[in-house]
Amino acid sequence: MTFDELISLILDLKKNSGCKSINLNSNFVKKNDIYLSLSEDPKKNLEYLSIARSKGAKLIISSDRACKNRHSSIKYFPNLKNKLSEISNIFFDEPSKNLKVYGITGTNGKSSVSFFLHQILKESNLKAALLSSIKNKKKDVFFSELTTPDTFFLNQFFSNLCNENYKAAILEISSHGIHQKRIQGLDFNFGCFTNISRDHLDYHKSMKEYSRVKESFFLDNVFETCLINIDSSLGKKIKKISSNFYSISSKEKKADFFFDKNSVLHHDRKIYNLKNYSNSNFMQLNFAMAISLAIISKVKINLNKIKNILNPLGRFEKIEVFKGKYCVIDYAHSPAALETILNEINLSHNGDVISIFGCGGDRDKGKRKKMGEIAEKFSNELIITNDNPRWEDPLKIKTDIMKGIKKLSQTHFILDRKEAIEKGLNLLKFAKKDSVLLIAGKGHEDFQEIEGKKYSFSDRKIIHKSEDVNR
């Protein structure tokens, strides 16, 4: 079967057989859908094909030759994985071309910049949708389990937005999404690079490769314009890709947008004072990037209309749990993110800092010692606990973290995360005024992943349910 023949078959099913969707996951297949099987494991492939057929798949396309004559509804097509974006764009009629699409990438800040930008666009009366991995009941915010889902999910999402008369869409672009070509063929109008620091090296293997993947987002797509944070060598390199790209910096006054130490954004002889929009300098910088991105995409900014800007859940989420004593919940799970938030807490509070954190299992092991060093440097007491251990032994994760910690007398190890948080609250209760308990690593997440299962768990709920909260 040629590719043209495959496309003809797919479009015929769309037109004449009520086929409305294409899925890569057999569990999501509905009656008359098309299922694409990509598994390279023959046994799993047969299992997935059986599930798809039982759910009423009209057509199954597999890249496994062994499935070629198994059933009349199953078609064999080699190198199927390399044709996904073409199939997706043709099936859904390239809906991204009918929207203003923003793509936000970088190690840290993607969720915050996207969340802030969405609020700005809405206040400017632009009907905009945000696709987010943070569950949110806000109108026009849509949930995806993956930061950047697959091409069929995205095109289906865009198609639905067009049908509902949306004018813009905001996506967070992960390095995995770029590398696995989930966004290939989409039409991006605006891009943003927030920053770069160590993360996902279990996948990318080196900072050089990780940086190359991030840079490729700006090389491989054609934008109207982009906003690039040039406070890193990679940012400076990306800025040089196009004369249409704008720079933002908190270090270089000559940047197109300059965010100074007083939380004032400077651009084109205009100033935007962002001091009152957050008590976190990092969140203020993210807000500055959102404002700058809106400006270069020719959205009129009126700060008076966005006085009540909201932070995304689990991003520098500050709660007064005892009088004059606070808990901060944050998603920080990389060395740079942990250092940023701990540094901010120390600068803005005069009491003790108690830090609770762990490291994810089956992920970048090289960052664990570094995170231990950072946590010890900026904290008075530490509690090491489980994050998402996945299939890895939590004691091995703890040992790796402890390699960076010298003051063992000030460090507690409590495997159960709930007990660790309760211990942290007890330490905070008897700490001096203006002390802070930082719970880092999971932020908005409402689960804990252990040995292949996701268990209901939320740092936020434990804090809010504590009988001592607000006493």
pTM of the complete model = 0.91
Judge whether residue 470 has pLDDT over 60: no
What would the mean pLDDT of 392-396 be, rounded to a whole number? 96
Give the span between the Cα atoms of 295 and 292, in whole angstroms. Answer: 5
Q: What is the pLDDT of residues 348-366, one digit of tens each?
A: 999 999 999 999 999 999 9
Q: What is the pLDDT of residues 18-73, one digit of tens each?
A: 899 999 999 999 999 999 999 888 888 889 999 999 999 999 999 888 776 677 78
Give the span between the Cα atoms of 20 and 355, in whole angstroms. Answer: 49
What would the mean pLDDT of 180-192 be, rounded to a whole number? 96
In the prediction, which pLDDT does 347 show?
92
Residues constituting the chain: 471
Q: What is the pLDDT of residues 247-270, one digit of tens each?
A: 999 999 999 999 999 999 999 999
In the prediction, which pLDDT does 69 show?
67
Q: Are 423 and 390 in contact (CB under 8 A)?
A: no
Q: What is the pLDDT of residues 104-152, one digit of tens each?
A: 999 999 999 999 999 999 999 999 999 999 988 889 999 999 999 999 9
Q: Are 266 and 257 in contact (CB under 8 A)?
A: yes
Find which of 40-49, 183-192, 314-323 is predicted with most confidence, using mean pLDDT.
Answer: 183-192
Residue 242, classified by CB atoms within 10 Å of its CB into exposed (0-12), middle (13-18) or buried (19+), is: middle
Q: Are 440 and 357 in contact (CB under 8 A)?
A: yes
Q: Are 102 and 192 in contact (CB under 8 A)?
A: yes
Rounded to whole angstroms, the maximal C-alpha distance in the chain is 73
**What mean pLDDT, rounded, does the chain reach?**
93
Other Cβ atoms less than 10 A from the Cβ of 458: the count is 19
Other Cβ atoms less than 10 A from the Cβ of 207: the count is 14
Give the span between the Cα atoms of 246 and 258, in whole angstroms. Answer: 11
Q: Which amino acid is at 465?
A: K
Radius of gyration in angstroms for the set of CA atoms belonging to the chain, rounded to a whole number? 24
Which two structure tokens, joined as six digits, stand for 209? 């490769």
Judge whether residue 467 has pLDDT over 70: no
Judge whether residue 156 has pLDDT over 90: yes
Q: How many percent of the chain have pLDDT more than 70?
A: 98
Judge whether residue 212 has pLDDT over 90: yes
Which two structure tokens, joined as six digits, stand for 127? 């009907």
Between 208 and 302, name the one with better pLDDT: 208
Which two structure tokens, joined as six digits, stand for 334? 């990389």
Domains of the chain, CATH where assigned? 3-91 (3.40.1390.10), 95-306 (3.40.1190.10), 317-465 (3.90.190.20)
Give the span between the Cα atoms of 53 and 42, in whole angstroms. Answer: 16
Which two structure tokens, joined as six digits, stand for 50? 């059986």
In the prediction, which pLDDT does 360 show?
96
